[in-house]
């Protein structure tokens, strides 16, 4: 009986934590098109690009208040778009199409891919080194910004829908099967001959996630050598395809989904052990791609011109398994910041913890938290989007402990 009560308490505690962390604000924006959008690339909090069917290309430079539309050719089907900065980017699509721009999409130059296969995914390692994957096991690489593309050798002629590299040598690609390279693509080794995956993301050389068909969510902690399925949490009927996955740290991540009832964005705050629904969409708004900054801010796109935007991840999350011996609050980083920053706190004993932000005049402008915390180390993120530039102070009070730090918001 005691075990049942304890298990119930742990469940309620975890559920409460998940609800508290679900603070994202996904907002539907007017894209100006009903064409499917298959790819999206977030460059900054204000700049984003999207591309899709019938050669449609969209961009915003004011956080999505307005989207400008260009039609690059009705015969084009664009499946992926990626930018290195606000000006330079690539589009990949069906029939081996690769386009490049150096002026934010005002003009595009066709590049010779050397293939007629449909291309699905782009990964930009740097301004010169880029990988693209597609049908029939196609992997393309350039080391000169796309002036020349080389087709790499893979073992199976199956679709590769996603590609990701942690450095110049180590990379992974997945789709109808799953492959890995440790020498920049000179050799690709088949790790799974059948995978049914659509997206892959690595936070560091060891820790990564794959998502795909039929609730498919897998996590690796050994550089993609082995994968553990994580079906717990928000898996619903009808079966969903998780089309995109991205994490901002070892705990916090998101998946975009599509299914017959529409689509959704699900979120985890414990590395994928549990997931919860952060944003549901309707039948005509299935989600095909997602692109987030390290702050958690970004966009997702999909069917009938769907564009939704998420604000920065603002919240507090337990990141430590060791109980600290004393209370502390670190300096925030970055500092100066615009618009968000983060800092770490150590909680030595369970009890009420309050964290508030004050302006230079000593007025309390925001309460980040005022509740009981269990012992541990926590990351705290603060968003100053609604405040003016200036000097602010963040104060933490827990028991007899008080600490104040100076922050500079510079817009």
Cβ atoms of residues 215 and 257 within 8 Å: no
Mean pLDDT of the chain: 88
**H or E stretch covering 265:** strand 262-268
List pLDDT tens digits, range 133-165. Answer: 999 999 999 999 999 999 999 999 999 999 999
Q: How much is the pLDDT for 325? A: 92
pLDDT of 313 higher than 90: no
Q: What is the DSSP string of 204-245?
A: SSS-EEEEESTT-EEEESSTTSS-EE---SS--SS--EEEEE
**Residue with tokens 């089309």, as numbered in its chain:** 243
Cα torsion through 280, 281, 286, 291, rounded to 10: -60
Q: How much is the pLDDT for 178? A: 97
Percent of the chain past pLDDT 70, that is, above it, reads 91
pLDDT of 369 higher than 90: no
d(CA 122, CA 301): 16
Enumerate the β-bridge partners of residue 355. 369, 396
Name the pLDDT band for 3 (thresholds 50, 70, 90). very low
Q: How much is the pLDDT for 18? A: 33
Q: How much is the pLDDT for 59? A: 98
Name the pLDDT band for 15 (thresholds 50, 70, 90). very low
Domains of the chain by start residue, with CATH: 10-310 (2.130.10.10), 316-409 (2.60.40.2550)
Residue 1 neighbours by CB distance under 10 Å: 5
Cβ atoms of residues 298 and 42 within 8 Å: yes
> Shortest CA distance to 332 belongs to which of 401, 270, 400, 396?
396
Cβ atoms of residues 31 and 39 within 8 Å: no
What average pLDDT does this structure show over 344-362? 93
What average pLDDT does this structure show over 93-100? 98
Q: What residues have CB less than 8 Å from 70, skipping those under 6 apart?
A: 56, 57, 58, 105
**Lowest-confidence range among 82-91, 110-119, 268-277?**
268-277
Higher pLDDT among residues 43 and 281, named by residue: 43
C-alpha of 161 from chain center: 17
Q: What residues have CB less than 8 Å from 388, skipping those under 6 apart?
A: 409, 411
List pLDDT tens digits, range 191-243. Answer: 999 889 999 999 999 999 999 988 889 999 999 999 998 764 555 556 789 99
Percent of the chain past pLDDT 90, that is, above it, reads 68
> Shortest CA distance to 221 belongs to which of 235, 238, 205?
205
What average pLDDT does this structure show over 103-121? 97
Higher pLDDT among residues 196 and 24, named by residue: 196
d(CA 168, CA 148): 18
pLDDT of 10 higher than 50: no
Name the pLDDT band for 16 (thresholds 50, 70, 90). very low
Q: How much is the pLDDT for 17? A: 36
Q: How much is the pLDDT for 21? A: 39
What average pLDDT does this structure show over 249-271? 87
């Amino acid at each position: 009986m005691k075990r049942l009560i304890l298990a119930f308490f742990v469940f309620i505690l975890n559920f409460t934590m998940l609800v508290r962390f679900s603070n994202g604000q996904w907002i539907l924006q007017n894209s100006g098109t009903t064409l499917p959008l298959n790819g999206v690339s977030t460059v900054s909090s204000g700049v984003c690009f999207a591309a899709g069917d019938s050669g449609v290309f969209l961009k915003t430079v004011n956080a999505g208040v307005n989207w400008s539309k260009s039609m690059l050719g009705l015969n084009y089907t664009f499946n992926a778009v990626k930018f290195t900065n606000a000006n330079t980017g690539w589009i990949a699509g069906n029939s081996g199409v690769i386009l490049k721009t150096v002026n934010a999409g005002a003009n595009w130059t066709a590049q010779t891919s050397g293939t007629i296969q449909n291309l699905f995914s782009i990964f930009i390692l740097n301004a010169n080194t880029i990988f693209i994957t597609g049908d029939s096991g196609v992997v393309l690489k350039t080391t000169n910004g796309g002036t020349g593309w080389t087709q790499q050798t893979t073992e199976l002629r199956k679709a590769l829908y996603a590609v990701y590299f942690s450095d110049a040598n180590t990379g992974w690609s997945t789709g109808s099967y799953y492959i890995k390279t440790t020498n920049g693509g000179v050799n690709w080794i088949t790790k799974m001959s059948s995978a049914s995956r659509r997206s892959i993301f690595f936070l560091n050389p060891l820790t990564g996630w794959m998502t795909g068909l039929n609730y498919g969510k897998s996590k690796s902690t050994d550089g993609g050598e082995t994968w553990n399925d994580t079906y717990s949490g928000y898996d619903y009927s009808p079966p969903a395809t998780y089309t995109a996955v991205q994490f901002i740290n070892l705990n916090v991540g998101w998946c975009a989904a599509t299914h017959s009832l529409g689509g959704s964005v699900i979120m985890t705050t414990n590395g994928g052990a549990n997931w919860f629904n952060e944003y549901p969409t309707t039948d005509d708004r299935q989600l095909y791609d997602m692109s987030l900054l390290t702050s958690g801010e970004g966009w997702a796109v999909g069917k009938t011109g769907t564009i939704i935007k998420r604000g920065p991840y603002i919240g507090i999350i337990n990141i430590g398994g060791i109980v600290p011996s004393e209370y502390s609050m670190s300096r925030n980083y970055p500092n100066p910041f615009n618009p968000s920053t983060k800092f770490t706190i150590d909680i030595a004993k369970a009890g009420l913890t309050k964290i508030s932000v004050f302006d230079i005049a000593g007025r309390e402008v925001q309460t980040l938290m005022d509740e009981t915390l269990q012992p541990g180390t926590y990351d705290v993120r603060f968003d100053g989007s609604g405040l003016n530039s200036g000097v602010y102070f963040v104060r933490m009070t827990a028991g007899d402990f008080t600490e104040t730090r100076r922050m500079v918001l510079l817009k």
